[in-house]
Amino acid sequence: MAQMEVPVPDISVHDVLRVLFKHQWPILGLYCVIVAVCAILCFFWPPTYEAAVRLLVTHTREEPVISSDQNSVRMLNQLTVTADDLNSEMAIIQSSAVLEKTVRDMRIDTTPERWYWRLLNKPFVFVRSVYDSYHSMPSPTPLVKGVQRLADKLTVTPEQKSDIIEVQLRWGDPRFAQAALERLRDNFMAQDLLVHKSPSTQDLFLAQINLKTAELTRIEREIEAIQPGGSVDALRLEREIALKQASDFEAEWRKARAMAAGENARVDSQKTQLEATPERVLTEDKSVVNQQAISNLRTEILQLELKRTELLRKFQPDNRLVVEVESDMANAAAALEQELNNTPHEQTTEINKVAESLRQGASVSQVELQSNLALEKAMRKEYVDYENRIRKLNSNALLIQRLGRNKSAVESSLLQYQREYEEARMQDEMNRTGIINVVAISPVWADPNPVKPNTSLLMKLAFGLGVIVAIGFGFLLEIFDHRLKSDSDAEGHLGVPVLTALDQYDSAEINL
């Protein structure tokens, strides 16, 4: 069965103009809206500036030939830069070590993003946090976020048919973009040198220098703790002075001990003489008679005899009164006899001058003995102190002598390591000039004009594409309009030919 061909209506310029004039206001309105929205977007869109630097990759690295002759190092033929070399340098530029160092130096991890980016990313950040919390995953740190942010704004591309790498960084501030790219370039140079440099002994010598310096400082502190500003010669001189003073004190101590021994012997002799010498001597010895007492006793005896005679005249001898008087007479007679038999002697004595002289001499000798003993004790103490000091000086001299030998050995090693370090440093510096194979062609340059938004381009597109979109919108309205607009539409819709058609008239003309 043959397929029916659908006739394609012919579209003339008259039909196009008719559609345009029919929908002129919607087309014009849409065009104005497109231009206005683009203008508003260009006005409120935050500008983004671009900083760029171009790096030349070369093969100037020295390739030494190892041999027993140190002067046999020569340059090999210079190799061409391959795509692998360019890709390697690009990988180093975008490595985490370079980016992290740049982020820390520029403090990008503490610099907040623009408000609209935070607003747009807030739902995604929330969803990411919920996902990480559900799966017990650690949230990214500010440093990781800063590295990702810097990596998103960094573009590294090789130029075609050249050994040049172009690095571009886009940021909202041209000065910050230039400073960040300069820091990135410096960090890349350092990392490239670290990656390509050959192992050196400079760090080893520097570590040994630090160790020897610390050891030398420790030895000097020990010497300073033993004797401030001490040396073996100074300690030897001080020891000789101490020996002389100790000898003088020993002589004084022995002299004081001899004097104390002599005074002690003198005191003992004086004590022995003093014990044999009486304290007082007898100068006069005479008897002393109490005549008054004797006279009284004789008088009393006579009176008692007279009284007894009188009583015998009156009474018998055995009378009590007579007996009492006789008894009193006997007592008085006994007392008289005792008094006459016990006549006391009166002796006169005086202080023995010899004993007194001995006592005074003993006191003086005792004082001198105590003085000599105190002097001997003091001299003995000083002598013992000097002996201890001399022993300490001897010990310190031996210790300082040992520390001095260690210090000399450490200083010699330190000097040797310093020479080796300087030679290694100069060798590394010479090698570094041959290791660097990336050179910046020009300084980092930041375009003062923003790369985003491109206002002129956007407005040109708005003016140009706005016309096309607006006209297309007009034709779209015409497509969705199903009213009959011409004779051909009527014939196509009814399937019969049109016999006649009335021209279009305005309503005012019809009313006339």
Most confident range, picked from 114-123, 133-142, 203-212, 393-402: 203-212
Query: Which has more pLDDT, 500 or 382?
Result: 382
Lowest average pLDDT, out of 21-35, 79-93, 103-117, 224-238, goes to 224-238
Q: Report the DSSP pairing between strands 445-446 and 49-57.
A: antiparallel
**Pair 149, 230 in one domain:** no
Per-residue pLDDT, 69: 47
303-319 core/surface letters (b: 16 or more CB in 10 A; e: else): ebeebbeebeeeeeeee
pLDDT at 73: 45
The answer, yes or no, to whether residue 185 has pLDDT greater than 50, is yes
- Residue 101: predicted pLDDT: 92
- One-letter amino acid at 415 equals L
Give pLDDT, residue 477. 78
133 and 109 together in one domain: yes
Residue range 493-504: average pLDDT? 66
Regarding whether 135 and 243 lie in a shared domain, the answer is: no
Asked if residue 252 and residue 398 are part of one domain, the reply reads yes
Q: Prior bond to 278 cis, omega within 30? A: no
* Sign of the alpha-carbon dihedral angle for 327, 333, 335, 341: negative
Where is the domain boundary, 434, 450, 469? Answer: 434
Residue that finishes a domain, picked among 389, 409, 434? 434
On whether the CB atoms of residues 50 and 153 are closer than 8 A, the answer is: no
Q: Which residue has the higher pLDDT, 362 or 216?
A: 216
Q: Which one of 383, 412, 434 terminates a domain? A: 434
Mean pLDDT of 54-71: 59
Residue 85 shares a structural domain with residue 173: yes
- Distinct helix (H) and strand (E) counts, the chain: 15, 7
Asked whether the beta carbons of 428 and 219 are under 8 A apart, the reply is no
Tell whether 315 and 422 lie within a shared domain.
Answer: no
Task: Give the integer Cα–Cα distance in Å for 87 and 85.
Answer: 5
- What pLDDT, on a 0 to 100 scale, did the predictor assign at position 508? 52
Q: Please give the average per-residue pLDDT across 275-294, as a whole number.
A: 63
> Is residue 72 over pLDDT 50?
no
d(CA 344, CA 61): 143
Residue 32 one-letter amino acid:
C
Residue from 348, 368, 382, 172 nearest 261 by CA: 368
Tell me whether residue 87 is in a domain.
Answer: yes
74 pLDDT more than 60: no
Note the pLDDT of residue 167. 92
* 414-424 tens-digit pLDDT: 888 888 888 77
- 60 and 157 share one domain: yes
Q: Spell out the residues 6+ positions from residue 332 whose beta carbon is closer than 8 angstroms to its own.
A: 297, 300, 301, 304
- The answer on pLDDT for 512 being more than 70 is no
Domain membership flag for residue 472: no
Q: Is residue 284 part of a domain?
A: no
Q: Total domain count for the chain?
A: 3
- Please check whether residue 15 is in contact with residue 458, taking contact to mean a CB–CB distance below 8 angstroms: no
Q: Which amino acid would we find at residue 255?
A: K
Residue range 76-95: mean pLDDT, rounded = 79
Residue 452 lies in a domain: no
Average pLDDT rounded to a whole number, residues 442-461: 81
Confidence of residue 47 (pLDDT cuts 50, 70, 90): confident
Decide if 117 is inside a domain: yes
Average pLDDT over residues 150-159: 90
Where in the sequence is the domain holding 310, given as residue range(s)?
289-343
The pLDDT-based confidence of 1 (bands split at 50, 70, 90) is very low
Question: Is 61 a member of any domain?
Answer: yes
Instruction: Output 419-424 pairs: Cβ under 8 A, ≥24 positions apart.
Output: 420/201, 420/205, 421/202, 421/205, 421/206, 421/209, 424/200, 424/201, 424/202, 424/205
The predicted pLDDT at position 68 comes to 44
Q: What does pLDDT average to over the chain?
A: 75
Q: What is the CATH number of the domain that holds 381?
A: 1.10.287
Q: Say yes or no: 57 and 124 in one domain.
A: yes
Assess whether 401 and 375 both reside in one domain.
yes
User: Does one domain contain both 84 and 104?
Assistant: yes
- Cα–Cα–Cα angle for 24, 469, 11, nearest 5°? 65
Do 222 and 255 fall within a single domain?
A: yes
Per the CB < 8 A criterion, the answer to whether 155 and 168 are in contact is: yes
Domain assignment present for 243: yes
**Is 407 among the domain residues?**
yes
Task: Name the band, by pLDDT with cuts 50, 70 and 90, for residue 156.
Answer: very high
CA atoms within 13 A on the CB side of 12: 5
Q: Is 343 helix (H, G, I), strand (E, B) or coil?
A: coil
CA angle, residues 312, 318, 322, in degrees to nearest 5: 50
Please tell me whether residues 372 and 296 are part of one structural domain: no
| Cα–Cα distance measured from residue 260 to residue 252, given in angstroms and rounded to the nearest whole number | 12
